A and B are shown apart, each in its own frame.
Chain A
Amino acid sequence: MSENFFKVIRAGINTTFQDLGRNNLNHIGIPISGVMDRRNYIISNKILQNIPSHPIIEFAYQGPRLVYHGDPLNISVSGDVKFKIFKNKNEIEGKCYETIILEDHDEIDLISTNKSVYGYLAIGADLNLDYQWKSCSINTKANIGSNKGKKLQDNQKIEVSNIKELSRRKLDHINSKIENIRVIKGTNFHYFSKESQAKFFKKEYSVTKLTDRMGMRLEGERLDNIINTNIKSEGLVKGVIQIPADGNPIIMLADHGTIGGYPKIATVISADFDKLSQLTPGSKIKFKEVNLKDAETIFKLYEMETNNIISKIL
C-alpha cells in the first residue's frame, strides 16, 4: 500500500483542522470550537459525499499551499476563495464548489479569501488525525485537538487514507452578503443608559483587527453602563456580546472563554453566526433586534436554505 499525503509548502495565516467541535466541556473551561462558517463546511463535505462531521482544513485570509503525493483523490474548496491548481507545468484557475482531482505531485495554492475571512478545503479521503473528546477541532489557545492543538506549520505532512472513489460534482452557489446582524436582548441590557440602548440598535459598529476565532472586537459609539461595568463572572455562549468598561462590544466566537465578567448587552442569533464570522476588519455592522420566536423561525429557515443549497449539487 502506497503512502498518500500532502506536504505543506506554506501553511497560511491561521490554518487548522476543524469539524463540528466538542460539546459538554464548557464546565471545565473548554469551548465548543469547530468550523466558523458551518454552511460552507457542510457544502464542501457534501460535494465530496463525506459524512457530515468529516474533518476539514479551515483557513483565514491566506490559505495554505500544498503538494500532494499519492493516488488520485478528490478535493473541493468552499467559501469565496481565489486559488490555483498546478498540474505538471500547467497553472489552472481554481473554482469553488466543485470536485477537483489531484494526482501525484499536483499542487494547490489557496491564495486568499475575497472580502471574507474563512475558506475551506475538503478532502475525499480519511485524514489521519488525533481526536480529543471526539473532535479533531484545533483550539490553538488551549492546544487542544489534532496536530497537537497547533495551527498547521510549514513543511509538515497531512497523511490521508481510504481514498474515496473519484467523482465529478458541482454546485452553483454565491455566498450571500450580510445586511444586519440580528440579536436578542441580553441579560444585562438594562445596565445601559436609555440613550446607549437606542444607540446600540441605531449606530454602525466597525469590525476591528482584534478579531480571531475567540472573538470579534467592535468599535463605535461608546455605550454607557449606568449600573456596573463588571458582573460576577458567569458562563458565556457563542454569540454573546459583552461590553467591557471601555464601552466597545466584543462578540464571543467559536473558541471563546467559557466564563466572563462583563455585562451582556445582547446575543447574536444562531442563524447569523456564519455570516458574522466572515466579516473582515473594517466591515460595518448594524444590530437589529428580534425576539426569541422570530429567532427560532429564522433558524428553521436557515436550515431549510442549507438543505436547499446542498440538494442542488449535481
Chain B
Amino acid sequence: MIKNISNLGDAAVYCDFGNDVNKEINSKVINYFQSLKDSKFEGITNLTPSYNKLIVSFDLSITNFEKTKKIIENLEIKKNLSTSKKKIQIPLCCEEEYALDLKKLERKLNKPNDEILETFFSKEYFCYMTGFIAGMPFLGDIDKNLHAKRLETPRVKVPKGSIGLTEQFCNIYTFESPGGWNIIGNTPLNVFDSLNEDNPNLINPGDTVSFIKINKEKYKNYNE
C-alpha cells in the first residue's frame, strides 16, 4: 500500500511506498503504475514510477491535486497486470577501451578486475525502473562486494552503450550523456529505439537482465 500521499508542486501527486529498495515494494509501485496507466484517467499527463515512489502528474487546467489523490486512493489494483517479465541477455565487452573505470574500481573495492567481473557476470538483475535519460534501465541488486560510490566528478560525456555501477545498482547509458556511475564496459546492443513508438525500450520494469561477456572482436562485428 501507499504509505503517504502528498503534493509535489501544484500539478503532481507524490505517492510514497516507503524508503526501502526491494523487489516487493517496487512491484507494488509497478502495480499502481500499470493500473493507472491502463485506466487512462482524463487529466493525468504522466506517471513516473521509481524504486519506491510513484509520481502522478496532471494537467492543472483539467483537474487538481484533491481529485487526482481521490482517484489514486480509490484505485482498484488489477490482478492480471500486463507487467513485463521478460528475460533479456545483454552482450557486454569489458576490455580496456570500454571499461573506463575498472582500474579505479579495482582500487575502490580492493579486488582484481577478473574477480570484479566474475562476480558481476554471475548474477541476474531485476529492472526496477527506466528513466533519467530515455530508456535507461536501473538494474539491481549487484553483489555486496561490488558496491561503490559514484565518481567524485561526474563525466561530462559517458559513451553510448556504457554499463555503469553505483551502490547496489547498475545501468546502461542508452545514448551519450553526462553521468557519474563507474563504467565497467560497453554493449553494442541498441537498448533504446525512438523510432519504435509502441515499444522503444528493450528493457522494462519487471524484466530480468543477464550480461554475456564478449571480446572486442565480437563487439566490433556485432552490428555487421
Interfacial residues of chain A within 237-253, with CB under 8 A of chain B in the complex: 237, 239-240
In the complex, the answer to whether A233 meets B8 with C-beta atoms within 8 Å is: no
A29 lies within 8 A of B55 (CB): no
- Per the 8 Å Cβ criterion, residues 207-261 of A in contact with B are 232-237, 239-240, 257-260
Stretch at the interface among B108-116, B118-126, B127-135: B127-135
Interface-facing stretch out of B58-66, B87-95, B97-105, B207-215: B58-66
**Does A30 count as interface, using CB distance less than 8 angstroms?**
yes
Find out whether the CB atom of B131 lies under 8 angstroms from the CB atom of A142: no
* Contact status B45-A24, CB under 8 Å: yes
B119 to chain A, nearest CB (A): 23
Q: Give the number of chain A interface residues (Cβ < 8 Å).
A: 41
Contact B10 A236 (CB under 8 A): no
B-chain residues with CB within 8 Å of residue A258 when the two chains form the complex: 48, 131-132
Q: Would you call B134 and A237 a contact (CB within 8 A)?
A: no
Find the B residue at minimum CB distance from A187: B14
Q: Chain B residues near A234 (CB, 8 Å)? A: 48, 50-53, 55
B134 touches A132 (CB 8 A): no
CA–CA, A25 and B192, complex, Å: 13
User: Does B47 lie at the interface of the complex (its beta carbon under 8 Å from any beta carbon of A)?
Assistant: yes
Is there contact, CB below 8 Å, between A28 and B175? no
Q: How far is the CB of A219 from chain B (nearest CB, A)?
A: 19
Given contacts A29-B134, A232-B21, A270-B60, contact A264 B8 (CB under 8 A): yes
Q: Are A27's CB and B177's CB within 8 A?
A: no
Instruction: Check if A184 is an interface residue, CB within 8 A of chain B.
Output: yes
A25 to B19, CA, bound (A): 25
Among candidates A27, A142, A270, A296, residue contacting B48 with C-beta atoms closer than 8 Å: A27
Which chain B positions have C-beta within 8 A of A29?
130-136, 174, 192, 201
- Interface residues in A80-139 by Cβ distance below 8 A to B read 132-133
Q: Does A292 contact B (CB under 8 A)?
A: yes
User: In the docked arrangement, what's the CA distance between A186 and B197, Å?
Assistant: 33
Q: How far is the CB of A12 from chain B (nearest CB, A)?
A: 24
Number of interface residues of B (CB under 8 A): 48
Query: Do A24 and B46 form a contact, CB below 8 Å, given A142-B133, A240-B9?
Result: yes
CA distance A132 to B129 in the complex (A): 22
B54 touches A235 (CB 8 A): yes
B12: CB under 8 A from chain A? Answer: yes
User: Is B145 an interface position by the 8 A CB rule?
Assistant: no
A237 pairs with B130, CB closer than 8 A: no
Question: Counting chain B CB atoms within 10 Å of each CB, which of A237, A260, A296 scores highest?
Answer: A237
B57 cross-chain contacts in A, Cβ below 8 A: 26, 237
Q: Give the distance to chain B from A49, nearest Cβ to Cβ, in Å.
A: 21
Indicate whether B7 reaches chain A with its CB closer than 8 angstroms. Answer: yes
Chain B 168-208 per-residue mask, 1 if CB under 8 angstroms from chain A, else 0: 00000011010000000000000010100100110011000
Whether A292 contacts B10 by the Cβ 8 Å rule is: yes
Q: Is the CB of A232 within 8 A of B65?
A: no
State whether the Cβ of A299 lies closer than 8 Å to any Cβ in chain B. Answer: yes
Q: A267 interface residue, CB < 8 Å from B?
A: yes
Chain B interfacial positions (CB closer than 8 Å to A): 6-12, 14, 16, 19, 21, 33, 37, 45-55, 57, 60-61, 64-65, 129-136, 138, 174-175, 177, 192, 194, 197, 200-201, 204-205
Q: List 11 A-B contacts (CB under 8 A).
A: A24-B37, A26-B55, A184-B9, A232-B19, A232-B51, A233-B138, A234-B55, A235-B53, A236-B48, A237-B12, A237-B57
- Ranked nearest first, the 8 interchain pairs of A and B with the lowest CB-CB distance are A235-B48, A267-B9, A235-B55, A295-B10, A29-B131, A258-B131, A259-B131, A26-B46
Chain A contacts to B: CB under 8 angstroms: 23-30, 32, 132-133, 141-144, 149, 184, 186-187, 232-237, 239-240, 257-260, 264, 267-270, 292, 295-296, 299, 303
